[in-house]
Amino acid sequence: MKTLILTHIFLLFLCISYSQPHSEMVGENIAVFYPDSFNATETLPSMALLTEPQVIGQVPADWAVTPEFFIESGKNCARIYTEEGTDLYGTGEVTGSLRRNETSITLWNTDNYGYLIDNGRRLYQSHPWVLAVRSDGSSYGILIDHTWKGSGH
């Protein structure tokens, strides 16, 4: 099993402190995860969604993909374990392969004329979205809904 660690970025909502995720369904096959101590009134509205998610129920106990929230070196983090053979795509404009497995990406927009900053790994657009495609062809997406600088590896 491989691990996708999202450092200083959080799934759909800002992580306030360490805890196991609280989860809610906000659409058909769409789940939101955040730490139990999360307080939605302390955050800004979504910058990625047209409308704020409305809770329609609880995430089933057998939901396949759930994050683990923690603090590492003073940074809020979320870890997602991926199945062996899962390919990861997304995160915006960077040099290199479209497949993001075994890479470290910084999500922070930079005017990177000549690809001189961060060896071209940060270009003009960062997209806080990761598409995971399993070996059987099924897939899921992860949206990190905040504007803070972050990284994934």
Q: Which of 57, 65, 49 is nearest to 13 (CA)?
A: 49
Q: Can you give the pTM of this predicted structure?
A: 0.74
Count of residues for the chain? 153
pLDDT at 12 over 50: no
- The predicted-structure confidence for 39-53, as pLDDT tens digits, reads as follows 767 777 777 788 888
pLDDT at 33 over 70: yes
Helix/strand/coil (H/E/C) assignment for every residue in 42-67: HCCCCCCCCCCCCCCECCCCCCCCCC
Domain ranges of the chain: 2-152
CATH superfamily of 2-152: glycosyl hydrolase (family 31) (2.60.40.1760)
Q: Give the tokens for residue 93.
A: 């404009």
- The predicted-structure confidence for 114-125, as pLDDT tens digits, reads as follows 666 677 666 667
pLDDT at 15 over 50: no
- The predicted-structure confidence for 83-113, as pLDDT tens digits, reads as follows 999 999 988 777 778 898 988 877 777 676 7
Q: What is the rounded distance in angstroms from the CA atom of residue 41 to the CA atom of residue 49?
A: 17
Quote the mean pLDDT of the chain.
Answer: 78
Tell me the pairing of strands 139-143 and 30-35. unpaired
